[in-house]
Amino acid sequence: MLKLHEHDAVKFGSFTLKSGIESPIYFDLRVIVSFPDLMREVSAQLWQATQRAGISFDVMCGVPYTALPIATCISVKENVPMLIRRKEAKDYGTKKMIEGNFAKGDTCLIVEDVVTSGTSVLETVQSLTNVGMVVKDAVVLLDREQGGRQNLEVKGINLHSVCGISELLDILCGAGRIDSETAAKVRQFLASANEVKVPQSKPCEDGGQPCKKQKKMLTYQQRAALCTHPVAKRLFTIMHEKRSNLAFSVDVTSATQLLQFADDIGPYICLLKTHVDILEDFSQDFVTRLQATAKKHNFLIFEDRKFADIGQTVLKQYISGLYRICDWAHIVNAHIVPGPGVIHGLSKVGVPKERGCLLIGQMSSQGSLATGEYTTAAVKMAEENSNFVMGFICQGSLTDDPRFIHMAPGVQLGGSGDQLGQQYNSPAQMVTEKRVDVIIVGRGILNAEDPVATAKLYQHAGFEAYENLSNNLCFCTI
Ligand SMILES: O=c1ccn([C@@H]2O[C@H](COP(=O)(O)O)[C@@H](O)[C@H]2O)c(=O)[nH]1
């Protein structure tokens, strides 16, 4: 503790904390990376606290960023595996929030430098539990004794600290580093601010300053009211009324089987996604029955045709041939690789028929080239053609415009991918972290032992994540 004070990691004065509270004491443990001896000592102390508490765990994770190098030191010295939690998911590559090797059900110990309300620890806990890990304990160097222990306890996390702020004051006073007046001022402050609550939202990234970027989150119902696009309006309304942001990707090769799934799973979804070109027995009768089932259970039909040719050709592919997609699919989608002509071709017939189109802004498959400037171009094309384009196929929110719907495939509970490049995220990751509106689930439901019960599970997981998001956003003032 004396060394921390020596290196200015403990300061006295007047400081505004992340929570907005004015504090006469401040810890800045970031500096310790410049002092290897101190880093070694801090890591050793944290490890000893873990051992004293008799915690058993499979893997450790440091709260980003300050505790990340501390966890790394412990991991290397004690030969304990660790994970890295990202603060934000990448928009390319694997898009994971948690990096490293782990199995669902593994127990993770959280490592942190300083705890005030416990908010940062809880954010890391959330990312870990989203990928199926179990968190029961957190070890911290300094507990500011301002309610963090209690806030964590409520969420089932035991906090183990190397030192509390009261003990730290005793040490510094005893060593003549601070006078009794300074210590008394801090103790008085602690007595008046000993129950700092976890904010009802994520703190702003810029450290608690009013955030200009973050907009108030609108509910599906409010977004329905804002939409002029008839299909987007209808879909948001269904999502609100059915309490479902689940789209079911019914990738089977038999029309009879597809219709059965549509009838069984229909009550729990807002959208049914098809690939009719894989059906071995497609017929007009199938179309009529699918439309009747969609009406019966109040869901929309999305043919995942992924048009990708010049305008004239896609127009013909949309209106003619065996499938005559424009006659029955409320929604279709298109790659933007041909340029805006693909949208103009489809919209010629799509707009008069009140159909909608999703642009493919990103894909869930490994190595996808739909990233960066390509994705930005998709957003621009959507904005310029919003009479027909109603949203995106993506892996995260691409625009703040509430009229556009973000739909994400590559969703599964517990799975990380398949042998052919598919990559999965959980419903909570997609909705809460990546802010997509609709989760598209295929094999997660199709291959389940009980597809109906599993669809209900996905419906619940997706909608709960949306409700958590609406409750937890907007910490900042707009
Ligand atoms: O980027 C994309 C675009 C479309 N898909 C389609 O979604 C489903 C996913 O099925 P799962 O069984 O849940 O993997 C499938 O129809 C794909 O063609 C996608 O996965 N990724």
Sheet of 134-143: strands edge to edge? 98-99, 82-85, 59-62, 107-115, 134-143, 158-164
Whether cis (ω within 30° of 0) applies to the bond prior to 220 is no
- Do 161 and 231 sit in the same domain of this protein? no
Alpha helices in 366-450 (DSSP H): 372-384, 427-428, 443-446
Measured CA to CA, the distance from residue 123 to residue 127 in angstroms comes to: 6
Are residues 387 and 261 both part of a single domain?
yes
End position of a domain, from candidates 175, 192, 209: 192
Closest C-alpha to ligand 1, atom 4:
409
Average pLDDT of the segment spanning 442-459? 97
Select from 177, 192, 207 the last residue of a domain.
Answer: 192
Residue whose CA is closest, atom 10 of ligand 1? 442
Q: Is the dihedral of CA 99, 101, 104, 109 positive or negative?
A: negative
- Domain membership of residue 200 (yes or no) is no
The reply to whether 165 falls in a domain is yes
Find out whether the beta carbon of 304 lies less than 6 Å from any atom of ligand 1: yes
CA angle 118, 211, 404 (to 5 degrees): 105
How far is 236 from 225, CA to CA, in rounded Å?
9
- 343 and 375 in contact (C-beta within 8 Å)? no
pLDDT score recorded for residue 471: 63
Query: The tokens of 388 are what?
Result: 């027909």
DSSP H helices in 131-254:
148-154, 165-174, 180-192, 220-226, 230-242
Tokens found for residue 438: 């609709």
- pLDDT (tens digit per residue) in 255-280: 999 999 999 999 999 999 999 999 99
Residue 477 in domain: no
Measured from the CB, is residue 440 less than 6 Å from ligand 1? yes
The pLDDT value recorded for residue 74 is 98
In a domain, residue 208? The reply is no
What tokens does 364 get? 């869930």
147 and 246 part of one domain? no
Q: At 42, which CATH number?
A: 3.40.50.2020
Residue 201 belongs to some domain of the structure: no
Are 389 and 307 found together in one domain? yes
| C-alpha distances in Å from residue 467, one per residue of 1, 218, 461, 463, 470 | 43, 11, 10, 6, 5
Q: CA-CA distances (angstroms) from residue 32 to 37, 80, 102, 113, 171?
A: 9, 22, 29, 11, 19
- Residue listed under structure tokens 């059906």: 279
pTM beyond 0.80:
no
Question: 249: CA distance to ligand 1 center in Å?
Answer: 7
Query: pLDDT by residue (tens digit) across 331-357?
Result: 999 999 999 999 999 999 999 999 999
Q: Does 202 score more than 90 pLDDT?
A: no
pLDDT, position 399:
96
pLDDT mean over 211-234: 84
ipTM > 0.90 for the complex: yes
- The alpha carbon of 23 and the centre of ligand 1 are apart by a number of angstroms equal to 51
- The minimum-distance atom of ligand 1 relative to the CA of 251 is 16
Q: Average pLDDT over the chain, rounded to whole?
A: 92
More confidently predicted of 477 and 107: 107
Would 207 be classed as within a structural domain? no
**215 backbone dihedrals φ, ψ, rounded to 5°:** -100, 160
Q: What share of the chain in percent tops pLDDT 90?
A: 84
- Specify whether 160 is located in the same domain as 227: no
Share of the chain above pLDDT 70, in %: 92
| Domains of the chain: total | 2
Number of CB atoms found within 10 A of residue 153's CB: 12
Is residue 213 domain-resident? no
Q: Are strands 107-115 and 271-274 parallel, antiparallel or unpaired?
A: unpaired
188 with 224, same domain: the answer is no
324 is in an annotated binding site: no
422 assigned ligand-binding residue: yes
User: Does residue 477 surpass a pLDDT of 50?
Assistant: no
* CB-ligand 1 contact for 425 (6 Å cutoff): no
| Shared domain check, 185 and 224 | no
My answer on whether 248 and 99 are in the same domain is: no
- State whether 265 and 392 are in the same domain: yes
- Whether residues 188 and 310 fall in one domain: no
- Given a cut of 80, is residue 378 above it in pLDDT? yes
Q: What pLDDT score was predicted for residue 252?
A: 98
Domain limits for position 425: 220-471
CATH number at residue 341: 3.20.20.70
Q: Are 338 and 345 in contact (CB under 8 A)?
A: no
Q: Does residue 261 sit in the same domain as residue 404?
A: yes
**Which of 147, 175, 192 is at the close of a domain?**
192
H helices of 371-418, where?
372-384
DSSP 69-80: HHHHHHHHHHT-
**Has residue 206 got a pLDDT over 60?**
no
Residue 437 counted as domain residue: yes
Give the residue numbers marked as catalytic. Answer: 304, 306, 309
pLDDT at 203 over 60: no
Looking at residue 104, its pLDDT comes to: 87
Looking at beta carbons, which pairs linking 232-235 to residues 24 or more positions away fall under 8 Å? 232/356, 232/390, 232/391, 232/403, 232/404, 232/405, 234/300, 234/330, 235/270, 235/271, 235/300, 235/331, 235/356, 235/390, 235/405, 235/438
Burial 370-394 (b: 16+ CB within 10 A, else e): bbeebbebbbebbeebbebbbbbbb
178 and 249 housed in the same domain: no
Q: Report the pLDDT averaged over residues 122-129.
A: 92
